[in-house]
Amino acid sequence: MAVDMDDFWVFGYGSLMWNPGFAFEDKMTARAFGYRRSLCVRSWVHRGTQERPGLVLGLDRGGSCRGMAFKVALKDKDDVVGYLRERELVTHVYLERTMPVLLADGRRVPALTYIIDRGHTQYAGALSTEDAAATVAVSHGKSGPNTDYVVNTLAHLKEMGIRDHWLEEVATLVERMRL
């Protein structure tokens, strides 16, 4: 299938998948290669505090990640990019990149996405499931408990037919810690 090079796609791997917040013409599952979904961003406001940071998702190097790709009308491109920059670049923990993604129908398209800035002070690094779970289990921010964030993310992924074994293991360990 041919790809119109004038198409504009956005790739989401976290809350953008179920709450994009912008108009789009089409959406489908997609896979980004060379990056994985990870609880690698220290949250100082929404899911933690500076004294006890929580963890939220970032797209970090290594592996691959199934997410959602959204086709945006070219007339809406500037508005969507402006919206995404306001939403994703608040503390500049993410870097805006265009990278190829493989759509569920077999097409490979360039898509705008946000990857973790490994040099940023909020980058938590590649944590083990045990270390991530220990942080998530005790963190709470203005948007609520960090555990709610992980459970909600997994529920939405399940609804979309997307498995994330690493995140599932973190949630299992968190649940054991709460017993």
CA distances to 8, 78, 120, 143 from 75, rounded to whole Å, are: 10, 8, 33, 33
Catalytic residue among 25, 86, 88, 130: 88
Q: State the first-to-last Cα distance of the chain, in angstroms, to the nearest integer.
A: 51
Structure token digits, residue 119: 């040099």
HEC string of 41-78 equals EEECCCCCCCCCCEEEEEEEEEEEEEEEEEEECHHHHH
Query: In this structure, are strands 54-72 and 140-141 parallel, antiparallel, or unpaired?
Result: unpaired
168 part of the active site: no
Residue 61 contacts residue 34 (beta carbons within 8 Å): yes
The pair of structure tokens assigned to 40 is 């690698």
170 φ/ψ angles, rounded to the nearest 5 degrees: -60, -50
- The residues annotated with a catalytic role in the active site are 88
